[in-house]
Structure 1
Amino acid sequence: MPDEEDTGSELSMGTEAAVADIANSLGLGNGATPGDAFEDDVGEPEPQPDEVPSVKAPAEVPLVEVYAPPQSWAKDKHEIWSKMAPEAQAQYLAREKQMHEGLEQYKADAQYGKRLRDVFTPYKAVLSSQGLDESQAAQYLMNAHYRMTTGSPAERQDLLAQLARSYGVDPASLAAASPALAADPAIKALQDQFAALKDGLTAQEQTARARTMEQTRKQVEAFAADPKHAYFDEVADDIAGFVKGGMALDEAYEKAVWANPVTRQKELARVQTEREAEFKAKVKADAEAARKASAANVRGHDTRRTPTEPKGTMEDTMRATLREINSRGAH
């Protein structure tokens, strides 16, 4: 009967051989185990539903302001505009806006000039034949109209005679009013020119001009009345010339005063006198301050002395002082 140890050993070896055969049949040779084969078949674990891969947020792109092409640009030029840098577009639009605003300032003057041009256009040939331009004709006609409406009867009669002679009409023929006077071609032409010019200058324009002239007159009068402008009357003509050249009123006054030898000498003397007065006032103020400071120092010394009885007359003071000296000598 075989030994029990031999029987156990044979059983163990038989079991291992059976396991090895099964493993080889399953492709698990070379030391692999059933657990290893299972793991290889399963592969990588699938991600759980709550495991969402992280995604980086895109970088912020700076906003670039886009400017529409100017209305003055043709459509076939818009491509050029789109190629310009935004800074250049903004600068161009700003400059164009400034230009339009500047043109608006001259729009009223342009309209005013156009109305007058329309008035003078029918008479341009006549003016050219006489060597006149529109401004000269307007000045001549308005001056005549002003004198005829504001002058005395005698002045108006003289002016009418002058106008008649300038148009080849004998003033003697105008001595007696007659319907023929109104029918005279020269007088009729003059009346037509007056009427056309007056129509060009509307009531609104005349009112605005009168208001501007009145404001200017008040400003000049206030400027002249200011004590700071004591030489205004002496240099008024020079001031008018400077102002006509585009200079401001205060600047024109200063230039006129220093350009005139008489007013320049007066101004130099005034400035010198003013400086001397300021210097004297300063010296006086400094002296007064020093005196007060000295008095304060004296009072300070007196307050540190031993109080004495009030002194009476000068003689009492001398006697008291003598007694004080004698008493110090006795000690």
Structure 2
Amino acid sequence: MASLQTFEIANQQMVLKAINLGGIITELLVPDKKGQLTNVVLGYPDISDYLTDSFFLGCIAGRFANRIAEGKLTIDGKAYQLAINNGKNHLHGGVKGFDKVYWQVTKVADNKLMLEYASKHMEEGYPGNLEVVVTYELTDDNELLIEYNATTDQETVINLTNHSYFNLSGSMDNTIADHDIQIETDKLVAVNADQIPTGVLQDVSDTPFDFLRNRNLGEAIEDYKSSDNSAIGFDHCYAFESSEFKKMAQVSSKTTSISMQVFSTEPGVQLYTGNHLVAPFQQHQALCLETQHYPDSPNQPGFPSTTLKKGDRFYSKTVYKFGLKD
């Protein structure tokens, strides 16, 4: 029977703590403008609280991050029904996704942590035995580098991300209202009322979703609410289309001057502003920038493919680079 364990890695200026449940990052310490180490990810005070977490705090989300409409898949002409855990849809791998399983920690070096998980055929409804390796590394350039590798013995789909909630303000009592954000694309994956893509990549220029110029996030949330009475914050996938390694976004806090740049080989990044956080947390206490493929990609032939075939290797790389904003 697996038990909760905590692991720690560090470089000269950063410290990362993670647990084997869900590969969850529980703390990430980076220097602020005074050189003091500051935790920038939301977490629980007791690791046992992660056993009942419903917010996907800090976890590896999979097999398929984000939503799949009605949990329905067709692979190689065969229909599959995935677990339903988000209204009538499938979210972040299902009822017992990668966030709720114990990963095997196979390497702990000074600055590197490697986790492995073998997802069995038909787990949460997905075909194929999937072997997954995720590596966390703290580089000398004050980066958190996350690499994802996977292979399968049968054609399947895969979409992995890290679901850390970031708050760069120096105190988790604060919200993200003092954060500025810039996202390097003018394209958004348009969705319906159930947050399922319509198949259209929407031009966000001069709309509340436009972050091509640096904007204050607190003001942006209020602007969005003013334009849509049902809005409570952002939970949208920004589309880059390219699988080249590129800068996707930058966030900074006026309070600490800590900045975080996001780079990835993924074609999309989901901005989530903690809209549904409740006690012991609070709404908009932190934000996620989840690098990933687009939601419901298996059912959208015009989207970049999430298919993984036997004999092929899935690889993805994301970097969160920390520094100070002038």
TM (normalized to structure 1)?
0.16
TM (normalized to structure 2)?
0.16
Q: Which has the larger radius of gyration?
A: 1
Which one scores higher on RCO, CA 8 angstroms, separation ≥ 6? 2
Higher helix proportion (structure 1 or 2): 1
Higher strand proportion (structure 1 or 2): 2
